Amino acid sequence: MTPLHARDIETRLAIIGSGLAGCAAALFAAERGIACAVTGQTGAVAYTTGYLDLLGREDGTARGIDDPWAALEGLRATQPRHPLARVPADDVRRSLEHFTRFLTEQGLAYTAPGTRNLAALSPVGTAKRTLCVPRTMVAGAEAMALGQPCVIVDFEGLKGFSGREFVANLGPRWPGLSTRRIAFPGLPPGELHAEVMARALEVPAHREALAVALREAAGTARVVGLPAILGMHRPDAVHQALQALTGLTLFEIPTMPPAVPGIRLRELLEQALPQRGVTMVAQHKVQQLGFDAAGATLTLADAFGPIHVRAQAVLLASGRFLSGGLEARPEGVVEPLLGLPVTQPPCRADWYRERYTDAAGHPVHRAGLEVDDRMRPLGPSGRPFDERLFAAGSILAHHDWIRTRSGAAIAIATAWAAVGSMATLLH
């Protein structure tokens, strides 16, 4: 079959990976006027919670961090090889500001990065610390801090989110918290999916019907929390409309991923980046990457045959095991595309601790690529693999983004740093 469109793409920067790191890098490159293409399989953005973490927990303990900027300084002293320690604090802040401002402009407003961590609520009624939250989720933590009467609404047929569970766990520190289960108006009875509910609420008639039910469920409370279902695109508009209809303060609680907050982010990025001039070569695995005197060539393939992307520089932001940037093979962890050296525990028996939820975290998560200060991954010789190759995001070594609640900042800040280095190269 003959291809219907051009199969060879020329660009200046090719980004491998369409997760938070890859998309943030595309945004930052576009802002600097660098033409770029995002390639690689769909990233793990849909699995994110919507919270943007900087540093939420001390490394190796279960203790929360209130001042992430002080913690960042501490990291620089104690873990100089940590990816965040390679990025000046001002740049970390700037990268997060740029990213959240971009999201806000697109109708998914975020709080700007502040000086302290915020409290963020989980679907089971635990609280975590994070730096930036979607505006639709802000009121929950505020109401908790003030101990305001609040009703958590959950829905018949929406499994995996239980108002009773939320209240059972948060009730002791939030007197005045209660829960009501209601039917979601306008959808047939039976199993509900948050994504379907979110899209339904973009229709005014559904909002009006839900508003009636929410007012009734609220009773005398002025604050109502509900699972994250307030629209898929432009949730701010849905949130404001529903608040106006009900006269209540409403907040969302993220549900079990993959869930609405992550899908919102993914759909927004897929839609908004091309408007900034970014070429999206979506959903195909990069099979080959080669460098020659003139630049780099990425080879992808779809049902119609091969696609080639030619670029002057390449950013490897392909994530870890879930996204395929690293592969855990029985004989060791490998970077499958270029075979870059991977720093890792000496043998498989050391990958995981005995206890799954051990606060110390599992050593295999600290495995990854070594980079120099310009975010260039090192080859077998210990020198940069190629001066036109950069790396960013969770694929880097020497961090445990899960235990330290730092995934978003590692993605966004290292993308900022890598794009900065690259801009120097390209100009």
Residues between 254 and 273 that touch another protein (CB under 8 A): 254, 256-257
Q: Note whether 149 and 174 are within 8 A (CB).
A: no
C-alpha triplet 418, 282, 9: angle, nearest 5°? 75
Window 82-121: contact mask with another protein (x via CB under 8 A): ----------------------------------xxxxx-
Q: Note whether 288 and 299 are within 8 A (CB).
A: yes
Window 344-383: contact mask with another protein (x via CB under 8 A): ---xxx-xx-xxxxxxxxx-xxx-----------------
| Residues between 302 and 331 with contacts to another protein, criterion CB under 8 A | 320-322, 324, 327-330
Strands 327-329 and 332-334: antiparallel
Nearest approach in angstroms of CB 255 to another protein is: 10
Residue 165, by phi and psi: left (phi above 0), alpha (psi -120 to 50) or beta?
alpha
Q: Indicate which single residue of 57, 93, 264, 266 sits in contact with another protein (rule: CB under 8 A).
A: 57
HEC-encoded secondary structure of 360-372: CCCHHHHCEECEC
Give the helix/strand (H/E) hosting 167. Answer: helix 163-170
End-to-end CA distance of the chain: give it in Å, rounded. Answer: 40
Q: Indicate which single residue of 14, 25, 52, 55 sits in contact with another protein (rule: CB under 8 A).
A: 55
Nearest approach in angstroms of CB 55 to another protein is: 8
| Residues between 25 and 54 with contacts to another protein, criterion CB under 8 A | 44, 47, 49
Q: Looking at beta carbons only, is 291 or 321 nearer to another protein?
A: 321
**Number of other residues whose CB lies within 10 A of the CB of residue 191:** 10
Judged by CB under 8 A, the number of residues near another protein is: 87
| Residues between 154 and 173 with contacts to another protein, criterion CB under 8 A | 157, 159-162, 164-165, 168-169, 172-173
Nearest approach in angstroms of CB 102 to another protein is: 23
Range in contact with another protein (rule: CB under 8 A) among 4-12, 123-131, 288-296, 369-377: 123-131
Task: In whole angstroms, give the CA distance from residue 298 to residue 6.
Answer: 15
**Number of other residues whose CB lies within 10 A of the CB of residue 81:** 14
The reply on whether position 207 binds another protein by CB under 8 A is no
| Residues between 177 and 206 with contacts to another protein, criterion CB under 8 A | 188-191
